[in-house]
Structures are given as C-alpha cells and as structure tokens.
Amino acid sequence: MIFDFFGELNWLAIVVATIAWFAFSAIWYSVPPLSKAWQKASKVDMTTDGPPLASLFGPTLVGYFVTTIVIALIARGIGATEVVDGVALGAALGVGFGAVSALVSQIYEQKGSTYWLINGLNAIIAYIIVALIVTVWV
C-alpha cells in the first residue's frame, strides 16, 4: 500500500525540500555564535585538516533526501495539504525523531546540553521546513 504513494509524490518538491534543508543546516552550523558553541560542544576543530567536504556533503544530502521522501510519504498518507498541516507534521517529527535522536546521541556521547540543544533545534526547524514544502507544494 505505501508503495502506491511513491507515484503520487511531487519529486521536484522533494528535491527542493532536500536542498532547503541542506542550505538551512549549512547556515545554522556556520554562523556564530551557534557555530562556535557547536564546535566547542562537539569537540570539532575546524582549523585542522579534516575529510574532504564532498565526503561529508554527499552522504548528508543522501540522508536528507531519504528522510524527505519519508516525510513526503507521511504527509501524503495523512492527507496533509495546508500550511498548518506542514507545521504540525514537521514539529511533531522534529521533536519526536530529530530532537529525541539528538538527545539520545548526547546521552551516550556526553557532549552536554548545548550540543543537544543546537542539534535538536536544528532538527525541529529543518523538519518543519521540509514538511511545509512537501505538504503545500502538491
């Protein structure tokens, strides 16, 4: 049954939502003071040579694309078509999956509440952006 919805998805909206998520997160994690707080909490040193950006951005885009498809499938499955539907769906998924996942990671990685807060808020806002795009762009 769920595979029936794949043909009904707006693939252009999914691509645009994926790119919007990537752009939002790129800004979120690169603009001070959030970038400095996240680097400190995650213990990432941006001044040292790390892996090539393509090796980071490629998997990130693929992950965002897969998640955006799932959000579009959920939106389609529940019949969400209005702005309020997109915000509610994005907020629910952002809190229920994004913020909780960030919290569990933080618990095991022991990087502190700032790490969880920055990543959790990013997830909530990003899921709302994605859900809005795939919900109203029918």
Indicate the residue type of 113.
S
Percent of the residues in the chain that have a pLDDT greater than 70, as a whole number: 91
pLDDT tens digits, one per residue of 73-127: 999 999 999 999 999 999 999 999 999 999 999 899 888 888 888 889 999 999 9
Residue 90 vs residues 6, 11, 31, 81, 85: alpha-carbon distances, Å: 20, 18, 23, 13, 8
Using DSSP, state whether 47 is helix, strand or coil: coil
What gap in Å lies between CA 76 and CA 71, rounded to an integer? 9
Residue ranges making up the domain that contains 98: 2-136
> Is a pLDDT exceeding 80 seen at residue 57?
yes
32 and 91 Cβ atoms separated by less than 8 Å: no
24 vs 39 pLDDT, higher one: 24
List helix spans (H) across 7-112.
11-28, 34-42, 53-78, 83-93, 100-109
Task: Give the global pTM.
Answer: 0.88
- What's the total number of domains in the chain? 1
What gap in Å lies between CA 3 and CA 76, rounded to an integer? 12
CB neighbourhood size of 90 (10 A)? 27
Element (H, E) at 43: none
What gap in Å lies between CA 109 and CA 49, rounded to an integer? 23
Binned at pLDDT 50, 70 and 90, residue 47 comes out as low
